[in-house]
Structure 1
Amino acid sequence: MDSVRTPDSETAEPSDTPAPASLGRKVRNAARWSLINTVVMRLGNFATGILLARFALGPAQWGVYGIAQTVLLVLLSANELGVGLAVIRWDGDPRRFAPTVLTLSAASSGLLYAALFVSAPAVAGLLGSPEASGVLRVMCLCVVTDGVAQVPAGFLTREFAQGRRMLIDAANFVLSTAVTLVLAFAGWGAMSFAWGAVAGNVAALVGCALAAPGTLRFGWDPEQARALLKFGLPLAGASLLALAVVNVDTMVVGSSLGQVSLGFYVLAFNMSGWPVRIISEAARRVSFAGFSRLADSPQALAQGFSRALGVLVAGTVPLCVLLGGLAAPVVHLVYGSRWLPAATALPWLMALGLVRIGCELAYDCLVATEQRRALLLVQGLWVVALVPVLLVGARLGGIVGVSQGHVLVAAGLVVPAFLHALNRAGIGLVPIARACAWPLLGGVAMALVLLAAKRLLGESTPALCAVAVAALVCYAVCVLPGRRILLGSRTVETA
């Protein structure tokens, strides 16, 4: 695959393509910091969610928050028209075209927010939550701050500077959590999430600007702008479709089943995202930059992708099986008895979470290899198939039916489509199957042990701890034979 050409490609310095060993060290170091960052932040968010769900907010308020969060994520997927990724992917000195990227990103974000501000009452009403209008107008201010932060954040990702990103995310978390908790316990309801998100995003913008000095500089070059839009618009479209995939269910549940059911569903979906956020987000902060550096070597790319997928699946499977198999007792223990209806959807959403991890890594790989048309087709297929299936699922089975529909479409249709697209990019099925076989086998064995042990020991807290330990030991034994495949040679270095 040829490198992406830009107006500045001819000026690329040799140092823009680091030596393989240097790249390997950068990727490993960045992945380590990214994992620490993600784990710490997610544990903090987890604790905050428990406090809010137990003592401050009910299912209906969580439903309003779920609507606002869905709209925000959809807008964030396209707020900078995809041009921000050029800072990470394009050859040459990014400071030459960064001012044009910043201008495009800030302008498109401002226009998006203006459109949302005007249409907020109609959007909230369409999604079955008219009272979410004010929350939408406040929370979606994050679109503007995120658009401005795209350039400095892109520089940090390009340089694998995940240590600095951890400090920025920590400031974001501390400020947003403090504001949210204070307002929630003062009776602000779902609006507390909105102002907390805005405060955290402002802190992140300031942090990115300080960590990447000199990058917040506006400018305009028409030739660069045309090249950036040609590069970014297909990616923005693919990103919008990707966000639609994981948020259309919220719209379906909210409009079909009401705010209370939506509150239960949002809680279950957030729980199912724990493994995805902890493991997948940590990997994705370095995966796109890493795959971009390997894109010119199909063999190295195939090795890097299959190994990365194997490691992600190996780390995610036990978390998914435990949360899915112990859904009701975990929800009861963590959030209290009034949230138990959320547990009915959780096992299916955990299966979806496992599928999402593989699909998100494939997404990054296809973007890095410029398979944008294939990516758009796969994501479009996913959305088109998902909407009618979720509507039928909501009518027949409530939030459980929606969850089952998600899994049916993802596993039965989307995974084969992604495998076909990866094969066209030079990544065959055999190395992928070899990397995932032992973790998936271990997951099946773990689920069987979990179910059998629950029947024998019951569901008291000590019994559940013993069940979890026994299941994890079983998984470790099953995965052990595949450790050489997962840990094999450091392919990034030997590429």
Structure 2
Amino acid sequence: MRCAMIDDRAKGSVAHRASRALGWSMLNTIASRLGTLVIGIVLARVLGPSDFGVFAIATVTMLAVLSFNELGVSLAIVRWPDDPARIAPTVNTISVSTSALLTVLLVICAPSISAALGDVRATPVVQVMALAILINGLVATPAAMLQREFMQKQRAIADQTNAWLGAIVSLALALAGMGPMSLAIGRLAGSIVSAAMLWWWSPAPYRFGWDRVVAKRLVAFGMPLAAASIVVFASGYADQIIVGSQLGAEALGFYVLAFSLASWPVSIFSQPLRAVAPAAFAKLQQDREAMVRNFLRVLRMLTIVAIPACLAISGAATPIIAFLYGPQWLPAADVLVFLAALAALKVWFELIYDYLVVLSRSRSVLVIQLIWFVTAVPAMLAGVALMGAPGAALGQLAAVGVVVLPCYLIVLRRVGVRTFAFIGAVALPTAAGLVLWCGCWLISRIVSPPPLAAVSAGVLAILVIAALASWRRADVRLVRRAMKGGGP
């Protein structure tokens, strides 16, 4: 009896900490995305499309390396069943040594990479941002320790310091005439200070060490994750690589700005939920029917909020770009129309990904990512040849809608989620989103000036989302209870 009471208290403690972590994760995500949006607007107006494109080349290059720089071993800290302090020194040695090696290689190869992606002016920017890879390797373990201990409050403070300090430095240097290098230096400055904060708050002391047995287990654990991350990066950023290499830095600047704006609803609504959804699904693995019910509830909630938001941005792309960034950025609106619609599908894919991983279907996810890459690249190349940058976005949207979505539905059916149940969960919110798209498109054509059109589209989107949320209020309570371990 005493053991049962202790176990209940332990479960309650974990549920309480997870609930608090979700709150801080959501606050951090919203603040980060709003901050990034505001900062991006100011810097885009100061720098212009060409300089913004040069920085985008450096960013894509850095993100490519960050997808595998520490070989996936830091995630073992989060999932390790025993005391993670035992493996932390070996994790530090692996992550720092591989990150340092990749940093040196990137500095050396920067001229060739910049030329391949469309503008050799990006070379010094790539070289400066390469240092962020080393910093990432240095803080991989502290960041994982904070995640393991549900210390999202401290992580949120570090992330916000990173974002805002980097923004202030970047803006000051941009106004001083340093061009795209201002963004690189700002990003690096924020990363250094944030890293120091993560080290300070880390629950375990920072030490290097080597245990051959542990290292073998870590590499066996991390390498498949690193390989999967590379595939995910390739499928997610192939469009930017194609646009940069085929059309140059300025076209890439337009594309990346549209990509960032289209990603905003995905980050706001999807990322905080993903911080706790896998754990909530995992608790119900022994009751597959309850697990399916909760998946469909979360899917419905996510669709109610995110799909109308994405489609509203797509429908009102032109006045939104003109209002936020100014007329010099209007070519980005043609890209945003398709990328915002693609973001709506990505909201579903991210939730499905988490669900399948909990069910140990990682191989299926990897296969789908490979299919995504193989089908989307030819479509994007053809689109670029026919339509320029908007063609890349349209090509990817077509490939994802026609090929990737059915693949996910097939895999879901194999794990007990019927296709008709999936369609039933998303049908009404998606239909409402499509009607909303038409309304926002009409507003963009008949309402002027652009600020009034953008605000009108936003108000219409809020009304639609509120109506849908009111329709499914019961789901909100059920999902919250499931997240806290209360079952379906």
Q: TM-score, normalised by structure 1?
A: 0.90
- Matched ranges for 1:47-196 at <5 A: 47-54=38-45, 56-196=46-186
**Of residues 329, 332, 355 in structure 2, which corresponds to 1:339?**
329
- Measure, in 2, the Cα distance between the counterparts of 1:406 and 1:18: 49
Would the alpha carbon gap of residues 204 and 265 (structure 1) be closer, same or farther in structure 2, given more than 3 Å must change?
Answer: same
- Residue of structure 1 equivalent to 2:303: 313
Would the alpha carbon gap of residues 301 and 140 (structure 1) be closer, same or farther in structure 2, given more than 3 Å must change?
Answer: farther
Would the alpha carbon gap of residues 271 and 424 (structure 1) be closer, same or farther in structure 2, given more than 3 Å must change?
Answer: same
- For residues 107-135 of structure 1, give each alpha carbon's deviation from its aligned partner in whole angstroms, at most 9, with x where no partner exists: 21112112212211111111121121111
Deviates more, 1:71-80 or 1:206-215: 206-215
- Residue of structure 2 equivalent to 1:327: 317
- Measure, in 2, the Cα distance between the counterparts of 1:90 and 1:424: 29
Matched, 1:243 2:233: yes
Q: Contact 1:38–1:282 (CA<8 Å) still a contact in 2?
A: yes
**Of residues 22, 27, 30 in structure 2, which corresponds to 1:36?**
27
Which sections of structure 2, spanning at least 5 residues, go unmatched? Answer: none
Would the alpha carbon gap of residues 351 and 342 (structure 1) be closer, same or farther in structure 2, given more than 3 Å must change?
Answer: same
Would the alpha carbon gap of residues 456 and 263 (structure 1) be closer, same or farther in structure 2, given more than 3 Å must change?
Answer: closer
- Residue of structure 2 equivalent to 1:370: 360
- Measure, in 2, the Cα distance between the counterparts of 1:459 and 1:473: 22
Q: Contact 2:318–2:444 (CA<8 Å) still a contact in 1?
A: no
Code of the residue aligned with 1:66 in structure 2: it is: A
**Of residues 254, 266, 274 in structure 2, which corresponds to 1:276?**
266
Q: Contact 1:88–1:289 (CA<8 Å) still a contact in 2?
A: no
Q: Contact 2:67–2:229 (CA<8 Å) still a contact in 1?
A: yes
Deviates more, 1:393-402 or 1:362-371: 362-371
Matched, 1:494 2:481: no
Matched, 1:409 2:399: yes
Q: Contact 1:84–1:151 (CA<8 Å) still a contact in 2?
A: yes
- Measure, in 2, the Cα distance between the counterparts of 1:97 and 1:413: 41
Code of the residue aligned with 1:47 in structure 2: it is: V
- Residue of structure 2 equivalent to 1:485: 475
Deviates more, 1:316-325 or 1:228-237: 316-325
- Measure, in 2, the Cα distance between the counterparts of 1:437 and 1:216: 50
Deviates more, 1:163-172 or 1:418-427: 418-427
- Measure, in 2, the Cα distance between the counterparts of 1:19 and 1:293: 14
- Measure, in 1, the Cα distance between the counterparts of 2:130 and 2:291: 37
Matched, 1:421 2:411: yes
Identity of aligned residues (%): 37
Q: Contact 1:438–1:479 (CA<8 Å) still a contact in 2?
A: no
Q: Contact 1:74–1:243 (CA<8 Å) still a contact in 2?
A: yes
**Of residues 325, 335, 338 in structure 2, which corresponds to 1:348?**
338
- Measure, in 2, the Cα distance between the counterparts of 1:327 and 1:400: 13
Q: Contact 2:338–2:393 (CA<8 Å) still a contact in 1?
A: yes
- Measure, in 2, the Cα distance between the counterparts of 1:444 and 1:149: 43
Matched, 1:45 2:36: yes
Would the alpha carbon gap of residues 431 and 143 (structure 1) be closer, same or farther in structure 2, given more than 3 Å must change?
Answer: farther
**What displacement does 1:160 show?**
2.3
Q: Contact 1:85–1:154 (CA<8 Å) still a contact in 2?
A: yes
Q: Contact 1:21–1:494 (CA<8 Å) still a contact in 2?
A: no
RMSD over aligned Cα atoms: 2.6
- For residues 259-281 of structure 1, give each alpha carbon's deviation from its aligned partner in whole angstroms, at most 9, with x where no partner exists: 22111111111111111222223
Q: TM-score, normalised by structure 2?
A: 0.91
Q: Contact 1:302–1:428 (CA<8 Å) still a contact in 2?
A: no
The size of the alignment, in residue pairs, is 481
Would the alpha carbon gap of residues 19 and 410 (structure 1) be closer, same or farther in structure 2, given more than 3 Å must change?
Answer: farther
Which sections of structure 1, spanning at least 5 residues, go unmatched? Answer: 1-13
